[in-house]
Amino acid sequence: MSRAFSREWLLSDAPASRAQAAWGRRYQGWVAFRRNPLALGGLVVAPAMLALALAAPLLATHDPGTQILGQRLQPPSAEHWLGTDELGRDIWSRILYGGRITLGMVVAVVVLVAPVGLLVGAAAGYAGGTLDRLLMRVTDVFLAFPRLILALAFVAAMKPGIGSAVAAIALTAWPPYARLARAEALGIRSADFVAAARMTGASPLRIVLRHVAPVCVPSLIVRVTLDMSSIILTAAGLGFLGLGAQPPLPEWGTMIATGRRFILEQWWVPVIPGMAIFLASLAFNLLGDGLRDVLDPKQR
């Protein structure tokens, strides 16, 4: 009997308990994931960016809103690590605080959208029949719009701002999750364990919540991680068009919008926030790709 949690124990061909089998699977998944250097990069960078954003007050060198008009449009230097913008504000500090806004918006969207999509899809897939058809029609309509365009129209109707932007993106982002969850739910609705739960008198709500929904979670996690990158791009896009966070807030897209006219001479003003968006999006993409290869190889 090998020692618990040793490599031998995890890779054993004949696990002695369910827990050992589960841990073995997780370890194998981790080994497979580890072999992909790009995915590891994503695993490091993505949370790092979130951490940096959270730690903004600790890491910022200046106040992001303070305008020093005498030092406008300075290139990167020892005092201002990433230079200053058109109103003399320190770009490094603005990037950090802007990360809170941009990444915060994205996290808010995901937190709203994933559970709702999961439940709607799981319920639709499990219930079948008219409920399923109705819910699928609704998702079809939302999927019929290009995401950004619908978000634009929605924000236009409300006052532009972070709240409307988050709501607008959430509105367009939930259908794919519902579809994904529904596809998984359809697969297991006739499974034995579901029938067993039904026979022991579990209510449909309980079945959906405790039995069907958990099965859909792995593919949803993959999709969420991959989606994060495109939600980051959409949020930044809205900011760029002036519909997200409004100036003087240092949201990355907004910073590019206001700094845009300096592209030819003081290029760092719009390009640095652009690189921040790129890095965040890339990190989540790499992470999502790596997760997908490990958790759901057929989705390749």
- Residues contributing to the site for another protein (CB under 8 A): 11, 28, 31-32, 38, 137-138, 140-142, 144-150, 152-158, 229, 233, 236-237, 240-243, 253, 256, 260, 263-264, 267, 270-271, 274-275, 277-278, 281-282, 285-286, 289, 300
Which is nearer to another protein, 136 or 212 (by Cβ)?
Answer: 136
Which is nearer to another protein, 52 or 263 (by Cβ)?
Answer: 263
Alpha carbon distances (Å) from 191 to 130, 132, 204, 208: 21, 18, 15, 13
Which is nearer to another protein, 78 or 157 (by Cβ)?
Answer: 157
Which is nearer to another protein, 60 or 262 (by Cβ)?
Answer: 262
Give the nearest distance from C-beta 117 to another protein in angstroms: 18
Give the nearest distance from C-beta 55 to another protein in angstroms: 23
Cα–Cα nearest to 137, from 175, 180, 167, 174: 175
Alpha carbon distances (Å) from 39 to 30, 33, 36, 226, 240: 11, 7, 5, 12, 29
Cα–Cα nearest to 94, from 205, 216, 254: 254
Give the nearest distance from C-beta 247 to another protein in angstroms: 13
Give the nearest distance from C-beta 287 to another protein in angstroms: 11
End-to-end CA distance of the chain: 38
Whole-angstrom distance, CA of residue 281 vs CA of residue 226:
9
Which is nearer to another protein, 153 or 191 (by Cβ)?
Answer: 153
Give the nearest distance from C-beta 46 to another protein in angstroms: 12
CA 208 to the chain's CA centroid: 24
Query: Tokens for 39?
Result: 């995915």
Which is nearer to another protein, 21 or 148 (by Cβ)?
Answer: 148
Give the nearest distance from C-beta 273 to another protein in angstroms: 8
Whole-angstrom distance, CA of residue 288 vs CA of residue 244:
26
Residue ranges in the chain assigned as alpha helix (H): 7-10, 18-34, 37-54, 56-59, 91-127, 129-143, 147-157, 162-188, 192-199, 204-206, 213-240, 252-259, 268-295
Which is nearer to another protein, 28 or 203 (by Cβ)?
Answer: 28
Alpha carbon distances (Å) from 245 to 22, 101, 221: 44, 8, 27
